[in-house]
Amino acid sequence: MPPYLRSMSSLLVTLIQTPLHWEDKAANLAMLEEKIRGLDKTELVVLPEMFSTGFSMRPEQLAETMEGPTVQWMQRLAAEKRVILTGSLIIEEDGHYYNRLIWMLPNGQLGYYDKRHLFAYAGEDQHYASGSRRLIASARGFRINLQVCYDLRFPVWARQQATEDGNPEYDILVYVANWPERRAQAWRTLLQARAIENQCYVVGVNRVGNDGNGIYHSGNSMVVDPLGEILYEQAHEAAVHTVSLSRQHLDDIRSRLPFLRDRDQFHINP
């Protein structure tokens, strides 16, 4: 069994918070590759939303296919560093454009999630198609629910459901984002809320710096434990940080405080 599928007592997650070169794929991939190559020991590397371009509303000029150079770049780096690599980019498929999160394994296999909630305030819904299904991946025995930026405001989409054996369906909730500093308080509050209500770890990775529209991003990338305690946070500066998520800590909280047993059961219609 590959090491990234083995059940382990912890998972090493690296958050890469960085400025992004506006609509410049070559510059962003070169910058991110240098950061990733510099990593010592980790198992999962999380990049921001639209990491190769910034949060652009020009998919007609910037979109790639799933066989394009950025997905190939992810495949190559994941294999070379023996890590799982995830982040979102602009993908064209069947005449539609998607803000698509890629989950790339070291063996070249991948999963993907198309952003469900499109940010109409910035016109995202005018340029991109919405996704209709969640992606819950696995790493080191942890189940990981992968979402993108604006999805954070919609708790039903992230709500923990029960598996057939009655256990929670996931253990870690990941958000990749380009979330502006002017709404940083909402970002911080909602990341903690998602962790508390779903009794899971939450990892939020945001960019820093100004984008091509002059909008400033303060980062505030965070890791939150299942009680809502902040294990890591960085604002305003570029940062590469690795945190170890403990399975025992998660299981102890769920055992001592079995709140999920009382949750409402419902079905989400896409």
Q: Catalytic residue numbers?
A: 49, 115, 149
Which residue do the tokens 């090493």 mark? Answer: 12
Instruction: Look at residue 27 and give its three-state secondary structure.
Output: helix
CA distances from 229 to 10, 25, 68, 133, 257 (A): 18, 36, 40, 29, 15
46, 1 Cβ separation under 8 angstroms:
no
Q: Please name the residues in contact with 178: beta carbons below 8 A apart, sequence gap of 6 or more.
A: 20, 48, 49, 50, 54, 55, 149, 206, 207, 211, 217
Backbone angles phi, psi at 32, to 5 degrees: -70, -35
3-state secondary structure at position 266: coil
Nearest to 77, CA basis, from 50, 45, 113, 51: 45
**Is 47:176 a contact under the CB 8 Å cutoff?**
yes
Whole-angstrom Cα distance, residue 207 to residue 68? 23
Q: How far is CA 79 from the centre of its chain?
A: 20
